Structure 1
Amino acid sequence: MHPSLRLLTARLPAFSPTGLTGLLTHPNPRPTLIALYNHTLTLLSRLPAHSVYRQSVENLTRHRLAIISSVQPEGLEEYQQQIAALKQQHKIGTAGTTADELDIVVKQARVLLDAFASEHIPTDKNIREYHANEHRRWTYPRGTGAPPPKHGEVAQPMETAVVGGGDTTPFLPVEPPLTAEQVAEVEAQFGGGLIEEVVDQGWAELKLVSAMEEARVWEELEVVPGEGQWVGFERKP
């Protein structure tokens, strides 16, 4: 569905076509992006502060987090009060980690997607592929392992990524959805395509942070490049 056509409906039906192959309308993009960005910042905080990668991604992530947090759906205050009571009931305290918050929105997406896909998987190849792709992305590190070693220190084993939103995560009511107009407003501020594409970018960056930590990209190159190695070809007199 072209962005302008999406404005013709008050709210975007979950899992309806977006007009992009392999991409369906996300059921709860706002809380997903907030949880993704907060957990990305947690993982980035494990990298040295002087890392150029950390600095650049932190700036973009904080910027996008401010955008998505500023646009609030109708009924959000009442919803947050309800969720606070349910979290207390399920013993999810205020000291919960960013991984815990991501688990909650992943559990919501998992339940909603499985219910939708169960009717279509037997006959629709595209839905099967979408369902499989979504489930594959829901594996991520908790960010609670040993931090990256300093130069000269022995590296500790990398923290194993785990599947989020599993059986131990309660299914809580989903946040009220944004209107189509609010979604369009967010998309315009992001400048990254449809909000579903921005969610994809968020998941990709979350996984990349762990890869960058494992590669220790902030360290000096093992083989120092020769003088002029990175200089492009230039016309010389």
Structure 2
Amino acid sequence: MRPTARVFARYLEAGTPTGLTGLWTHATPRSTLLYLYGTTLSKLQSIPETSMYRQSVEAVTKQRMSLVEQMIPPGYNEWAVRAKELVSKNSSQFRVASGRVDGSEAHTVKLGDKIFVVGRKHEAGDIRVEEWNGEEDEGPEYEGIRTQKEREDQVTWAERKPLEDHEKIEWEDEPQMTADQVHELEQKIGAGLIEEVIQVAEGELKLVETMEKTKVWEDLEEKPAPDADFSSSLPQSSINPLSHSPGVVAQFAIAGLSEKDENPSQRIRDFPHRGISSNEAFAIEAESDEDPETEGDEAARPKSKKTTSRKRGGHFDVLLESIHYFLDRGEINKASRAYGLILQLRPSGLPVDTRHHDLWAIGAEILMREGEESLQQDEKSHENQPTSTKRWGRAANMNKVKAYFDTLIQQHPYDYKTPKVVSALDFWIALFSCEIYNTHTEHVLALDRLGNEIDKGPRRESFGNDESIASDETDSVEARKLQKKDELRVQALSIMKDITKRMDSRSFRLKKGRKQDEGNKRVPETNWRE
């Protein structure tokens, strides 16, 4: 982004604003980039070749360096000849032309077949604001006879060259690239202005120098043991190896634990006020009897003076275990009857909530697997036929499963205030999972049936000596097979697109409903009085 007034300029004036805050037009962007890229590539040689960082930085740096080298400013070749001659004549005492000598010394750097002159020029400044003019305070001269060591400074003063007579070399900067060349280079690199590219190159060079200095590719000085067990590496005779506080140690003694044991409060709630030997399964069952609408919300739970935890009825446990047993054995009819009985129970005086103990998932499985027994009997009667891909459930039951989940979604809508409660969100995920599985499985089974039908189809047993007829027949069979496969693929793809569309719609409605609830909270309540 450069100012509009500079669009028609042939050359970009150094030091002028670029349009970005704190970023000024660079005087010699081409030579600066070549020096930075060359130095970066040189320092990358110290990093192992197997390093992914080195490989990526080398690739990007070489690509950008080649783009910069292609941009040759007008008069560059003539300037290069003069600069090379100047450097060769004054290789030992090369200095940058300036009004003052101190701090202006330049040096040459050779990177490959290129020579760079690195230095900093001092601009002419006001001597009234300069605190130091570059001359050292040598102090007063000694009086009397001095030793040989004390007279060493006099030899230095006599042999040194006066600053005012110092030989100066007039250095000519590299010719500037035209504004069109700069713009073209920026477009090819695609990383913003040329000044921004220079900043990125400087940062990359600093990073490489830091990595080279710290040698990040080397292994740690102290390596842990390959199979070190830190908990068991402590000596057996150590006292309080886990640094428990005195109060915790006293509670351990009451609970019958030693100082070497871990703190049970990390895995047992309300320790030590609840014993370790308590029946964890019973505790979980007692907690699950809470109202699912207030589960996970401490403020919404009804507070009582005495908390009572009561076991479920024996019939409930027996029926629940029986359902799992029947499902594992594939006896779906018996599991369905047991599921109907468990829904009629009133273990706490209230109807059974299907969201507890995964009863909603059990009901969906029973509906999906209904009729599996008759299907297995049919498969046994056709043992001689080639076996097809096994599937879970039946595709004919998908409509029942959809109606079942739709009813649950309407009965238990999702509330973002209680995200841990089983609600419509869980039912949506389960329904979409069943549909995706059913679509994929039906597609695979259809492909298997297609292959079997083509293999069993009518074929000509003999074609005589005419091989062309046999090849034509084979080609037509393969063509029909490919056409049928493509039709099945399009059908499965259409169903999957419909599922994806409904998933996106549900997600959008969830986000929209939450935003509306948050917006209603922010609306202040106002009471109008006449």
Query: Structure 2 length as normaliser, TM-score?
Result: 0.29
CA shift in 2, pair 1:80/1:88, >3 Å: same
CA shift in 2, pair 1:5/1:63, >3 Å: farther
Consecutive unaligned residues of structure 1, counting only runs of 5 or more, are 123-169, 224-235
Residue from 103, 110, 132 that aligns with 1:97? 110
Partner of 1:86: 86
Partner of 2:174: 175
1: CA distance between counterparts of 2:193 and 2:187?
Answer: 9
* Residues 43 and 209 in structure 1, CA contact (< 8 A), matched pair in contact too: yes
* Residues 29 and 195 in structure 1, CA contact (< 8 A), matched pair in contact too: yes
Partner of 1:200: 199
CA shift in 2, pair 1:175/1:22, >3 Å: same
1:23-60 Cα shifts (integer Å, max 9, x gaps): 11000000010011111110001111111111110111
2: CA distance between counterparts of 1:184 and 1:27?
Answer: 15
1:72-107 Cα shifts (integer Å, max 9, x gaps): 000011011101101111127xx95339945x2x42
Partner of 1:14: 14
* Residues 79 and 176 in structure 1, CA contact (< 8 A), matched pair in contact too: yes
2: CA distance between counterparts of 1:20 and 1:207?
Answer: 23
* Residues 47 and 213 in structure 1, CA contact (< 8 A), matched pair in contact too: yes
1: CA distance between counterparts of 2:109 and 2:174?
Answer: 18
Partner of 2:57: 57
Matched, 1:38 2:38: yes
Quick check: 33-42 or 2-11, which moved more? 2-11
Q: In the alignment, residue 123 of structure 2 is paired with which amino acid?
A: A
How far did 1:219 drift?
4.5
Please give the root-mean-square deviation of Cα atoms over the aligned residues, in Å.
3.0
Higher gyration radius (CA)? 2
Residue from 115, 122, 129 that aligns with 2:123? 115
1:161-214 Cα shifts (integer Å, max 9, x gaps): xxxxxxxxx773111000000000000011111000111111111100011223
2: CA distance between counterparts of 1:192 and 1:96?
Answer: 27
Partner of 2:69: 69
1: CA distance between counterparts of 2:3 and 2:180?
Answer: 10
1: CA distance between counterparts of 2:72 and 2:3?
Answer: 20
1: CA distance between counterparts of 2:204 and 2:4?
Answer: 28
* Residues 3 and 184 in structure 1, CA contact (< 8 A), matched pair in contact too: no
Partner of 2:503: none
2: CA distance between counterparts of 1:5 and 1:192?
Answer: 23
1:86-133 Cα shifts (integer Å, max 9, x gaps): 1111127xx95339945x2x42xx32xx428x48xx8xxxxxxxxxxx
1: CA distance between counterparts of 2:196 and 2:37?
Answer: 15
1: CA distance between counterparts of 2:20 and 2:82?
Answer: 35
2: CA distance between counterparts of 1:101 and 1:195?
Answer: 22
Q: In the alignment, residue 83 of structure 1 is paired with which amino acid?
A: A
Q: In the alignment, residue 56 of structure 1 is paired with which amino acid?
A: S
Q: Alignment partner of 1:97: what SS?
A: strand
Q: Which has the higher contact order (CA 8 A, sep 6+)?
A: 1
2: CA distance between counterparts of 1:186 and 1:34?
Answer: 13
How far did 1:20 drift?
0.9
1: CA distance between counterparts of 2:52 and 2:3?
Answer: 34
2: CA distance between counterparts of 1:21 and 1:44?
Answer: 32
Q: Alignment partner of 1:45: what SS?
A: helix
* Residues 7 and 184 in structure 1, CA contact (< 8 A), matched pair in contact too: no
* Residues 3 and 194 in structure 1, CA contact (< 8 A), matched pair in contact too: no
* Residues 12 and 25 in structure 1, CA contact (< 8 A), matched pair in contact too: yes
